[in-house]
Amino acid sequence: MQQRVRAIAAIGPRDAVSPAYARAATYVTGQLEAAGWRVRAQRFEVPAGTSWGVRVPGGTSTNLVADPPGFDSTTPHVVIGAHLDTVPQAPGAEDNASGVATVVELARMLREQPAATPVRLVVFGAEEARVPSGTRYAFGSRHYVTTLTDAERRATRGMLALDRVGVAGRTVPVCSGGRGTASLARDVRAASPASVTNGCTNRASDHVSFEAAGIPAARLGSVPFDGYHSAGDVPSVVSDSQMRRTGAVAWGWLRSL
C-alpha cells in the first residue's frame, strides 16, 4: 500500500478542482479497474472559498464510484469510502492517500473473496473545507447521498469512511455520533475489539453526509501528527502496518455482516 501512497502524494497538493486532482483520480481509477471493479465518474460543482487559509477557485470535482460486477444499488449493500483531495499546502500522504490506498487494497481483497453483503467503494472529491469556519466541507459525499434514489438510500445499510489511517498507533480510532446512526461504530468495535479505540480527534469526514441522511456511518482514523494540513504530510509519516491494521478492521466489519 505504501507504493500507492507514494504515487498519489508524488502528484502533489490536490485541491478538488485542480488538474492535480484529476491526475490523481485517473491513477486511482486505473488501480480500481485493475482490481476488477467498474468505475463511474460522478461529477459535481464545488464553490470557491478558503481552504486552510488559501483562496481556492470553484469548479467541477469528481467522485469515483466503484462497483463489483453484477452490483445492484437498489439491493442491500454497504459503502466504504475515502477522500482523495487535499488542502492547498499538503501533498496529502496521510490525509488522505492513506485512506485511498486502503480502499484500493480492500477492492483487491473483495475481488478475491467477496463479502456476503455487497460492497460499493467510493473515492470522494472535495472533502476538505472551503471556508475558515469549516462548516462547508464533504461536498462530494453530500452530492453522492443527495443523488441517491429512495430505493438506493434504503438499500444503503451502512457507510465506513477511511480518513487519515496511516499514522502509527496501537489501535485504530473509530468515531460516529449522528442521531440514530451510531450503531455502526459499535458493530465495528464488536468485530475487532482488540484493534479499535472508541473515539477520534476529529469527527469531520465524509461519513457525516451519510449520518445526516439517517444512514448508519462511522469514520476510521485520525491519529494526530505534526504534519497535518502542511507540506510535512509526506509518505514517511505513513505506516504500512497501520494501514493494514485499518484494512483488517474494515475487513472484520464486512465479514461480520
Residue 77 DSSP code: E
What is the spatial distance between Cα 48 and Cα 63, in angstroms, rounded to a whole number?
18
Hey, where are the domains in the chain? Answer: 2-256
Q: What is the pTM of this model?
A: 0.96
Burial call 172-199: b when 16+ CB within 10 Å, e when fewer: bbbbbebeebbebbebbbebbeebbeee
Are the C-beta atoms of 251 and 117 separated by less than 8 Å? Answer: no
Find the helix or strand (DSSP H, E) in which 121 lies. strand 119-124
What is the spatial distance between Cα 57 and Cα 240, in angstroms, rounded to a whole number?
34
Q: What is the CATH number of domain 2-256?
A: 3.40.630.10
Residue 196 DSSP code: E
Helix (H, G, I), strand (E, B) or coil at 127: coil
Q: What is the per-residue pLDDT for 197? A: 84
pLDDT under 50: residue ranges of the chain: none
Please enumerate in sequence order all residues whose Cβ is within 8 A of that of 159, keeping only pairs 6 or more positions apart, or say none.
78, 79, 80, 81, 184, 206, 207, 210, 215, 216, 217, 218
